[in-house]
Amino acid sequence: MATLGNDASLGHDQTRRTLDAILDFIGKKLQRSEAAGRLILPRFLIPEPREMLNARPQSDQVMQAAFQREMANLEQAKRMDDEHSQMLVIRQRAVQARDLQAQAEQAVSRRELNAFLNNQIKEKRYRARQKAASADHDRCCYGDIKILPLEAEISDETRQAEKQKLNQRLNEQVAAKVALKKDRRALDQAESAYFISKLMLQEENERQEMAERKRVEKETMLAGWSQQKAIQAQKKALKVHIK
């Protein structure tokens, strides 16, 4: 019985070695056939070697790229703030120049008004002197002649009334010009206030847009970091699972 068992085990081992030899021969044959087939195939039909799954950028490279993007965004934001500040300075200088021009025009108009009033006063005095000289000449030359009737002499009350009328007319003209200057000044002030309010509103809108853009960029960067951390955690878990 022992002899029969030993013979059976020897036959089984011999059969197994024979099968292994046959399989080894077939595998080598297939490898040589595959190598020969690759040599025979044209270049465009030869499959390209696949990249390794582990050939991905490392986490430090990703963080470095994100840091560089953030620095570039900060520099761009600073440059935009500087340009905005320069624009505001230019606009403020333009408003100041406009105010100075308006003040100069007002000063010129005031001088013209004073010159006009002085000329009116001089003309009034000149006419009064001429009228007085003509009246004195008439009284001296024709006072004693009774052939023709003399004109009625102008009383002091009448002269005073005429002077008051003339003064009132001049005062009305001066008041009208002063009111016109006030209206122009008020209009200029209103235009300046409107322009400044528009500038402030535009500045506030630009600041809000800048803050919103920074917030979105920050959220995007944080989301990228979180995703990268999740990928790294998955890689670690996969490696642990494989081990």
String of DSSP letters for 2-67: HHHHHHHHHHHHHHHHHHHHHHHHHHHHHHHHHHHHHHHS-GGGSPPPPPPTT-S--HHHHHHHHH
String of DSSP letters for 67-112: HHHHHHHHHHHHHHHHHHHHHHHHHHHHHHHHHHHHHHHHHHHHHH
| 191 DSSP 8-state letter | H
Q: Name the pTM for this structure.
A: 0.27
Angle among Cα 19, 24, 25 to the nearest 5 degrees reads: 100
pLDDT of residue 5: 42
What parts of the chain have a pLDDT lower than 70?
A: 1-16, 19-20, 22-23, 25-58, 135-153, 241-243
pLDDT of residue 134: 74
Neighbour-count burial of 77, counting CB atoms closer than 10 A to its CB (0-12 exposed, 13-18 middle, 19+ buried) = middle
Give how far the C-alpha of residue 144 lies from the chain's centroid of Cα atoms, to the nearest Å. Answer: 91
* Exposure string over 192-207, b if 16+ CB within 10 A, otherwise e: eeeeeeeeeeeeeeee
How many Å apart are CA 84 and CA 205, to the nearest integer?
12
Give how far the C-alpha of residue 161 lies from the chain's centroid of Cα atoms, to the nearest Å. Answer: 66
Q: Token pair for residue 233?
A: 């955690």
